Structure 1
Amino acid sequence: MSASFRAAIAYSNSTRESAHSDTDPLSPGLHSFSTGYNKLTYTIFGTGPSLVVCQVPGWGIGPSYISNGLAPLHGSFKILYFTPRGTPPSSRPLDALEMSSKHMVEDLEILRQYLELGSMLLLGHSNGGSIVLGYAQQYPSHVEKLVLIDHELQGFDDSATYIEFAMKRKDDHIYGTALERLQSFKADTNEEMQERLNDILPFYFANPTESVPKMLETMEDMPSSWALNHQRAADRERPTYLVDDLNKVEAKTLIVVGRDDPFCSVKAAEKAHAGMTTSELVILEDCGHFAWIENRECLDVVSRFLSE
């Protein structure tokens, strides 16, 4: 554990202890706390008896897409959506190289200690899944259950699956345009990033004509191009090889993946499942990267798993 991380833990604990007694850090709504280095924020929806901590991806998409997407679960669970460093309203680190997924794993531990939780029910989608998986490897005793939805498995090269999807779709009038924009994706401003995301979204779905409008309805946050560009750079500087430490995960784990996900593929999910003896794998047909948009079974499976 680095000296800066130890200092952040100590600072967040002192902040927690000095909070007013009538302030409930687990009440519905937006919350923030300081680590001494960054301001971190989270939003709570739902009033169910079980707290689920959902890690928002680190590349700047914001929490609304997943909090709106998982809204059907809010009647049964209290879900905390943890917005990572660099994505507003959380603050940017002073050193942009501290935007790595590894640093975001450490932020999850700071959150756990701030909330005085012994262990957590963790959920993550895409890069959020990568962060919670990294946490479960580094802090296995602090994870009660782990849910990975179309999760990124850092250190596992499945570029062949993406190439296969690209070759099959390149001549399609919807997929082809999205693929062309995806291959030249670059955003220097938040507005450019929003426009580029809208352009490439069809490639993330099995049924884009029907699913993209549903997805756009969930995306209320302005994305952060700064977070996108600097998390990419930080992860290149400090790469994470989650594929090497899958056997360190002790928590019962649910892995859900869409058959038509070219980015966080079935092969990656199968690799993670094979490496974690406590995991179960659910593959959803006719689903892309945002499984709950295209198949309600995704949320039903997650709800049953968390309720067991």
Structure 2
Amino acid sequence: MPTFTAPDGTHLAYHVRGEGEPLVVVPGGPMRASVYLEDLGGLTAHRRLVLLDLRGTGDSAVPTDPATYRCDHMVDDVEALRAHMGLEHMDLLAHSAGGSLAILYAARYPARVRRLVLVHANGSALGLRNTAEDRLAAARLRAREPWFDKAFPALEAWLTGESDFDPACAPFFFGRWDATAEAHDAATEEQTNEEAEGRYFSDGAFDPDATRAALAGLTAPVLVQAGELDGGPRPELARRAADAFPNAEFEVQPGAGHYPWLDDPERFVRRVVAFLDR
């Protein structure tokens, strides 16, 4: 397992899978170990994935200062990984909450980004936050699913603050609620650093106006993907995120929840590879 050292001395790990040109991958969660990404639906057949374990997750060390779990503090961890790999610039893919980290990286180090893929990315860095109604509207699209009548009241109670998260809500995050989705969901708690999760989006992490201004100078192509059934972000919110980049394209994957490489791996891989190989 390869490691490198962050600017503050924290030892960070990454996992290499597949062959070919490197694609650096930033996981979401927030603060979930990169193992949940697996091979991204078979993307390893086309690219060498460099899966970063963010500080305090997976095989990476816990930092001395827990304040460094805040999203903006980890931008230089990504830059340290690029330098460690000896890349002049890199292709970067980020999922979910990792999208805000990748957006901040692109704003701070635009010359280091060759291509950027944002997979169902959290847009907090751009001032675009999911709302409870966003998630409920997406959830209502699943009204014909056999689990809906039990899951929807639990989701509504969680989003309105009436109760804690109920595992009954889990099917809403997947395009298909099957054995693969259940196993993926069951590993979430074990793979997530809960303390770090609580600090990731803490006050001061984002300055959307400054980030948008910095991204105006980004020349790299950007692919912003959303899922038809995903509530975080819904396609319209993801489309607005794409508008923040000078050279972006936007796509909605039909039938996809929050993990598109599980819902339709062939389509997901085909689209990402076509974008990266231009």
Q: TM-score, normalised by structure 1?
A: 0.76
2:230 pairs with 261, 264, 267, which one?
261
Number of equivalences: 265
Distance change (3 Å), C-alpha of 1:128 and 1:157: closer
SS at match of 1:239: coil
Structure 2 unaligned residues grouped into runs of 5+: none
1:238 corresponds in structure 2 to 205
Distance in 2 between the 1:274 and 1:225 partners?
A: 32
2:45 corresponds in structure 1 to 75
Q: Give CA-to-partner distance per residue, 1:217-276, whole Å, 9 cap, x none.
A: 8869632222212324xx324334277344243211111110111112212211122222
Given residue 40 of structure 1, which amino acid in structure 2 is its aligned partner? Answer: L
Question: How well do the aligned residues superpose, as a CA RMSD in angstroms?
Answer: 2.8
2:77 corresponds in structure 1 to 107
SS at match of 2:184: helix
The answer to whether the aligner puts 1:290 opposite 2:259 as a matched pair is: yes
Distance in 1 between the 2:168 and 2:197 partners?
A: 16
Pairs within 5 Å for 1:49-68: 50-57=21-28, 59-68=30-39
SS at match of 2:92: strand
Pairs within 5 Å for 1:183-262: 183=159, 184-185=163-164, 199-209=168-178, 212-213=181-182, 215-216=184-185, 222-232=191-201, 235-241=202-208, 244-245=212-213, 246-262=215-231
The answer to whether the aligner puts 1:89 opposite 2:59 as a matched pair is: yes
1:148 corresponds in structure 2 to 118
Pairs within 5 Å for 1:132-147: 132-147=102-117
1:78: Cα distance to partner?
Answer: 0.7
The answer to whether the aligner puts 1:179 opposite 2:147 as a matched pair is: no
The answer to whether the aligner puts 1:270 opposite 2:235 as a matched pair is: no
SS at match of 2:120: strand
Is the contact between residue 34 and residue 58 of structure 2 (CA under 8 Å) also seen in structure 1? no
Distance change (3 Å), C-alpha of 1:167 and 1:220: closer
Distance change (3 Å), C-alpha of 1:51 and 1:128: same
1:67: Cα distance to partner?
Answer: 2.4
Q: TM-score, normalised by structure 2?
A: 0.84
Distance in 2 between the 1:58 and 1:216 partners?
A: 11
Distance change (3 Å), C-alpha of 1:64 and 1:240: farther
1:88: Cα distance to partner?
Answer: 3.0
**Going by fraction, where is helix more abundant, 1 or 2?**
1
1:106: Cα distance to partner?
Answer: 1.4
Q: Give CA-to-partner distance per residue, 1:180-215, whole Å, 9 cap, x none.
A: 5744447xxxxxxxxx6x554212123334762363
Distance in 2 between the 1:166 and 1:73 partners?
A: 29
1:301: Cα distance to partner?
Answer: 0.1
**Structure ranking higher on relative contact order (CA contacts 8 Å, 6+ apart):** 2
1:77: Cα distance to partner?
Answer: 1.0
Given residue 41 of structure 1, which amino acid in structure 2 is its aligned partner? Answer: A
SS at match of 2:42: helix
Distance in 1 between the 2:150 and 2:59 partners?
A: 34
